[in-house]
Structure 1
C-alpha cells in the first residue's frame, strides 16, 4: 500500500488536453481538497485560453496525511492513475512537487511534463512564472503611471518560495524597493542574504503603503476583510485563486480603485513553459520567452477594456477566456 489519496479535476478540454500541476498538500478534509482542485482546474482553463494556448484546464492533488510521503512507489501509482485517463489530462509540477517527482511519475505514464532539462523537458516552471508576473507588473505600471519602469517602486511580495524568489531577483535588477514576507523564516533569511529587502511580519504586508502588492503564496488572500485595508495602487501576484469570491471581490477592488490584474493571466508563464514541452522537437526557450512576452499586451488590453466599460478586470479577463473557448465549441459543432 502506498497511501495514495488523490483527486484529479478536468475542467475543460475544448482547446486540447487538460493540463495542470500536481499539488501535495495537507487539507482539512476531502471536501476541502475537492473544492481546491475544482477551483484550480477552472483557473487553468481560463489561464490557457487567455494566453492563447491549445490546451484545457486540469489540476491534481495528492492529499498529505501523517505518514504519507512522496515516495517513488506513490508517485508511480499516481502516474498509473494519470495513464488511465488516456491523455485527457497531462500532469506537471506544482506546489510541493518538482521535476524529480515528475521523473518517477513518467515511469508509469507518458502524460507528464515539467521533466528535467537534461531529459529534454522544460524543467522547473517557476522562473518563467515569475517572469510572467514581472511582465504583468510592468503592463499595469504602464497603464497606471504612464511608464512601465519599476525602478524605485515600493513592491511587497507575499510568499518567497520558488516563484517569489525569482520575482525578487527580477525586481532587484530593476532597483525596486522590496518588502517581503513568508511563513517560513529560512526563506526570508535566504532572500535577505542575497537581495536588498525589508522583511515584514506575516499578515501585515497587504496594508502597508505600497505601489504594488504581489500575493505569491496560497489563494484567497484578497477577500472582504483584506481588500478594504489594501494601501496600494496595483495588485499583481503569482498565487492562484487570489480572490476568495471572484465576482464580489473583483467588484470590491474596482470600487476601491485598485488596479488588479487577474491571477490566471499574471501567472500564465509557468503554463506556457510547460505546454511548450508538449510540442514536437527540442524544447525551445526562446519560444517560451516570446509567448510569455505577449502577456504584456494582453494585460494592457484587459486593463483598457475595464477602464472603458467600468467593469472589473476579473470579469473582462474571464469573459475573454470563455469567448475563445465558446467560439471553438461553436466551430466544432458546425
Structure 2
C-alpha cells in the first residue's frame, strides 16, 4: 500500500504510541480523523492507519474536495483515565504540529469535538472543535445526510424508486450516525432493525420503538437495505448478505476489494463506503475551510446523491461494479485534476 509519509512516535508525556499517515497530497493537504482504539499490537494500528488514510484519499477525490487523504491513530493498550487521555492527546497534537499542516485532523472512532479542542492546544490544524469554540462540532449529522443521499440513488437502482415507506432496513451499529439514520428512516415509514455491541445503545433504540437483534445475526436478516454503521472488515469472501442493497458509513467495510465483485455476482448492490460516508468531511471542509453557510455546506452534502447516481449509472453501462467506477473517478481526479468540484458561492460559475 503506497503512502507518502508515515510517522510513528511514542509520546513524551504519556508513553503511548501515536501515528499519522499521509497517503496523498496530490489535491491538497491531507485530512482525516483521529482514531482512539485499543490494538493487540502496534503493527495492527499501523495497518489500520495505512488502510484508513488510503480510503480518505479516495473519499476526498470522489467527493470533489481539494484535499488529500490522511489518518491518525492512537494505539492504546488499555482504556486511559481522563488524565492519561489528556496527556495522550497533547502528545498527538505535538505529532500533528510537527507535520506543519501536511495533515489536518478531525474526530473519528473514539474521539469527538472536545478531544479536538485539546489537540488545538498544540496545533491549529484541527477541525470540528465544539461550536462554542468556533468549530462545527460533531460531523455525525452531515455524515448521516450523506448516507441518506447515497441510499436514495441506490434504492432507485435496486427498487426503481427511493421511497422507504414499508422497506425493512437493518442498521449494524447504533452509534451517533447509526442512531440518526434509524430515526430518519423510521420517520419515512421504514421498518428499522438495529444491532450494536453496546447494550446501553440497544436499550436506547428499544425506547424509541426499534427492534434489536444480536450482532451475530445482523448480516443474515432478510431485509431490503443493510446499513453497516459500526466497524470495518464486515464483508469477506462469501459473506452472508441477505439484503439486495448495502450502503453505510462504516469505513473499510470490505476485507478485500475483490469482495465487491463477489457481492455483485450474488446480486448485491454495494455502494462504496468512501462514497456513502463522505458527508461529514464535505460539510466540515465546506464550513471550516471555505466559510460556507450551514445550508450551503449541506447542499454540497446533498450533491453526493448525484455523485452516487453517476457511479451507479457508469457501473450499469460498463458492466462493472460501483467500486470499480468510484475508483476510476478518484483516479481521474488524482492524476489530472480534471473532475471539477462544486464551486463555492464566492467563485464565478460558467454560464449555461
Per the normalisation by structure 2, the TM-score is 0.89
Aligned to 1:332: none
Pairs within 5 Å for 1:1-334: 1-66=13-78, 68-69=80-81, 71-194=85-208, 196-226=209-239, 229-246=240-257, 248-279=258-289, 281=291, 284-328=293-337
CA distance in 1 between counterparts of 2:16 and 2:51 reads 22
SS at structure 1 position matched to 2:21: strand
Superposed CA offset, 1:188-208 (max 9, x none): 1012212x3211111211111
CA distance in 2 between counterparts of 1:270 and 1:223 reads 26
CA distance in 2 between counterparts of 1:280 and 1:157 reads 33
CA distance in 2 between counterparts of 1:144 and 1:101 reads 40
Superposed CA offset, 1:277-309 (max 9, x none): 43254x621122100111101111111111111
Structure 1 unaligned runs (5+)? Answer: 330-334
RMSD: 1.4
Question: CA shift at 1:3, angstroms?
Answer: 2.6
Pair 1:210–1:328, CA change in 2 (3 A): same
Superposed CA offset, 1:118-159 (max 9, x none): 122111001111111111111111122221111111100000
Superposed CA offset, 1:139-191 (max 9, x none): 11112222111111110000011110111111111111111101111001012
SS at structure 2 position matched to 1:71: helix
SS at structure 2 position matched to 1:243: coil
CA distance in 1 between counterparts of 2:226 and 2:43 reads 31
Question: CA shift at 1:71, angstroms?
Answer: 2.5
Superposed CA offset, 1:198-257 (max 9, x none): 11111211111110011111111011142xx211110001100001101x1011011111
CA contact (8 A) 2:38 2:79 kept: no
CA distance in 1 between counterparts of 2:60 and 2:109 reads 19
CA contact (8 A) 1:58 1:89 kept: yes
Question: CA shift at 1:67, angstroms?
Answer: 6.2
CA contact (8 A) 1:115 1:121 kept: yes
CA contact (8 A) 1:51 1:295 kept: yes
Question: CA shift at 1:265, angstroms?
Answer: 0.2
Is the helix fraction higher in 1 or 2?
1
CA distance in 2 between counterparts of 1:312 and 1:270 reads 24
Pair 1:280–1:308, CA change in 2 (3 A): closer
CA distance in 1 between counterparts of 2:78 and 2:215 reads 26
Segments ≥4 residues shifted beyond 4 Å: none
